[in-house]
Structure 1
Amino acid sequence: MAQTPSRENGRGPTGEGSGKTHRVVAYLRVSTDRQAEEGLGLDIQQDYIAGYLRKHPDLKLVRVFRDGGHSGSTLDRPALRDLMLLAKEQPFTKVLVAKMDRLARDLFVQLFIEKELLVHGIEVVSVTEGFNTASPTDIAFRQLLGVFAQLERSKITERLLSGRRKKLENGGYAGGRPPTGYKVKNHELVVDEEGASIILRIRKLRMARMSFERIASRLNAEGVKTRNGARWYASGIHRLLRNPVLRGKVKYGTIRDGIHKPIE
């Protein structure tokens, strides 16, 4: 069992204010590029932490851990793994975050991380929310907020899934990358003439009893690319022709009529 550092050595949750300099690290995270653009970027988080450090001269920042493009609902994050490994050596006493959801969005993941850090006498401090994991009152209040936040995220997810199911039931396009021959316009599938001409040509070659392998070879020899700009392969052509979307259908449990035009 790990020993909790004592107040005398300037370590642990109760060490602040003892007149010693406390070594701290910062943890920054964003899930997506869009999140960074909307004001929660890594640099903004670091600015918040820098402001906090200016008000607390007894804290010395020794390292910054950055996870860019990683979900907050999982523990599988490179910088977080490095932080947790280093915590076992106890070279710092606090982990500073701009907000608690930067540590983890999922409440259970968040609590697991905090508990693991507290075993080594390390507390987590949210510099914008005023929470720290050494205060029982803060812990209880934050857990309550976390429950409601998680409930709201679950409700949003359910609404999105419900909307997607409803759209599919009505034969509409519910998202995802459309197959060759289609593009998305105003959230609906419309025929892409360039892609549709390739589909019609492949069908004509199949009607002439040409194999999928020979069709792929011909298209590649002529310099015709897939929608990804790649070479054609027999398996891809076979899969494409079997896609019910090309026939004006959608798949939701069973194959049903879609509201988009088939490629004919």
Structure 2
Amino acid sequence: MKKVRCAIYTRKSSEEGLEQDFNSLHAQREACAAYILSQASEGWSLLPEVYDDGGLSGGTLERPALQRLLGDVEAGKIDIVVVYKVDRLTRSLIDFAKLVETMDRTEVSFVSVTQSFNTTNSMGRLTLNMLLSFAQFEREVTAERIRDKIAASKAKGMWMGGIVPLGYEADGRTLAIVDKHAEIIRGLFRRYCDIGNVRLLKEQLDDEGVMVPERFTATGRKMGGVSFTRGQIYKILSNPIYIGDIHHKGQTYDGQHEAIIDLDLWAKVQEQLAANRQGEQRAPTLKMQSLLTGKVFDENGEPLGASHACKSKVRYRYYVARERESGGTATDRIRIPARELEAAVVGRLVDALDDPLSLLAMIGAELDRSTIEVVRAHAGQLARRLRSRERKTVRDIVNSVTVGTERIALQLDANQLRQVLSIPRNEFSDAELTLDCKVRLKRTGRAMRLVELCGQGVRDEVDRSLVQLLAQARKWWERLSDGQTTIAALAREEGINDSWISRVVRLAFLSPQIVDCILAGTQPAAFNGTALTTGNQVSGSWTEQAKLLGLT
């Protein structure tokens, strides 16, 4: 007799009662196990694996135990999936259709022990769809009731859960003030009224070492213990909960908790926030503007304009030379990735700021002790801001960037730099200061890449598309090496060409040295997904790979 391997799946929507020695999941599993035992004469046998999802909704397929079950179904380890009721598996018609499609493809059957129906005929399928329709209807009605209950409770000023705002702690259906944290909130509001700028407020907090207080959620997750971000400060300053209100879907209600901020201070802060927002709205294009727009030139003094291209909803920015009226082709024009050029410029500025003594010598300032201490403090602060991507100051300091084949020259506004670093001017001070950035241009296709003298590309971040390609290669190779599928079957499943899978899978054999370079973003400039998936760059020998890719 053929052995029929059976797996039991159980689920409970809420966590209530799961701590009991015998809970709903145990009851479901016991009933399913008894049914499988009754079919022992047909060769049915229960697999030892447990697929239990406690406290998870049936409205989604993103459940750990269900995903393990589907993985074992795809691997051919299961013949029949047994559940107590259909709605234990899912409460969504669309999700059930996906599950049935998966089971049909792998020739796996589905049994509900308390609902007898036969899906091999039209009447059985109709019965099943009716059951699932009512299960989905029940889930949606329950969700609507919960949403209505939350709205009604908030209209009464009750706290309905979530992350507790800084300054308070949960106290049943209301909030209680934490005095120590409330003082920090009041301080933020008062400081903002005095300064009138969130960026300057954050810089002041960082200089004083003010941190977000450490707190713990109900589940034990730690929060705080880090510096305030601009986003956090904006959210605190605009949160009506601090004046005793509860906010819900555009409506504000009188809360049952005590206010931390008085109405006069709140009104002043909101007025200042509104005034600052109006100033930003008058120039909406600044957000999309490249950092060095209007400041980049080639060796001949010709300007490079900011441009961009979109591919697969991703925006790629470039600095591009203008077309010449005569001679040359489109491929001869300089076209530099904006991220690389901006990273090189910012990196050179940071290097200069990290060596304040050399910077003082170049500027021509007096090297007395008081000046050195002041410059070291301001230079360190500016370098930290540049590293954290607060780069608005770059446009004020940099007059022009001249891009050559062997180096980049930065022309800095010496007077502006003195002002930023609090260096007094003298009559012999130069108006401009030149910094050399030792990187060279290398053409890869239509674009020019910036390459350091060691051959490493200049990058502002890791090449995420290349990292994703490596992950895909390893995932595909794992399935192919286990004998789960073939290249042709995998191509049909993914809806792509089998030759592409063959080329990508080779990346699973890259040496650890090369993989480490990709994850750190330090691979050679011409080292990208296109280069790796074309030609024969991926040799079977790690030594040959390193030689071919210039890493030795």
Question: TM-score, with normalisation over the residues of structure 2?
Answer: 0.38
Question: Any gaps of 5 or more consecutive residues in structure 2?
Answer: 217-222, 262-552
| Residue from 204, 212, 237 that aligns with 2:202 | 212
Deviation, 1:158, is 1.4
Taking a change above 3 Å as real, the CA distance of residues 263 and 89 of structure 1, as seen in their structure-2 partners, is closer
| Residue from 208, 211, 226 that aligns with 1:231 | 226
Contact kept? 1:29, 1:67, Cα under 8 Å: yes
Identity over aligned pairs, percent? 24
Alpha-carbon distance in structure 2 between the residues aligned to 1:164 and 1:212: 35
Matches within 5 A, 1:183-262: 183-206=169-192, 209=195, 211-216=201-206, 217-220=208-211, 224-225=213-214, 228-235=223-230, 236-254=232-250, 256-260=252-256, 261-262=258-259
Q: Secondary structure of 2:8's match?
A: strand
Q: Secondary structure of 1:239's match?
A: helix
Matches within 5 A, 1:74-223: 74-77=60-63, 79-81=65-67, 83-84=69-70, 86-87=72-73, 92-127=78-113, 129-131=114-116, 134=119, 136=121, 139-169=125-155, 171-206=157-192, 209=195, 211-216=201-206, 217-220=208-211
| Residue from 47, 64, 72 that aligns with 2:49 | 64
Contact kept? 1:106, 1:150, Cα under 8 Å: yes
Deviation, 1:246, is 0.7
Q: Does 1:50 align with 2:33?
A: yes
CA RMSD after TM alignment: 3.5
Deviation, 1:64, is 3.0
Contact kept? 2:53, 2:66, Cα under 8 Å: no
Q: Secondary structure of 1:163's match?
A: helix
AA of the residue aligned to 1:55: S
Contact kept? 1:124, 1:132, Cα under 8 Å: no
AA of the residue aligned to 1:24: C
Q: Deviations over 1:186-216 (max 9, x none)?
A: 4233433343233234344545648223325
Q: Does 1:25 align with 2:7?
A: yes
Taking a change above 3 Å as real, the CA distance of residues 84 and 256 of structure 1, as seen in their structure-2 partners, is closer
Residue 503 of structure 2 is matched in structure 1 by none
Q: Secondary structure of 1:75's match?
A: coil
Residue 4 of structure 1 is matched in structure 2 by none
Deviation, 1:179, is 0.8
Deviation, 1:88, is 5.3
Question: Any gaps of 5 or more consecutive residues in structure 1?
Answer: 1-18
Q: Deviations over 1:141-192 (max 9, x none)?
A: 4433332232222222212222333344455434432311223334233433
Alpha-carbon distance in structure 2 between the residues aligned to 1:32 and 1:118: 30
110-119 or 26-35, larger mean C-alpha shift = 26-35
Q: Does 1:263 align with 2:260?
A: yes
AA of the residue aligned to 2:242: L
Contact kept? 1:123, 1:132, Cα under 8 Å: no
Alpha-carbon distance in structure 2 between the residues aligned to 1:75 and 1:224: 37
Question: TM-score, with normalisation over the residues of structure 1?
Answer: 0.71
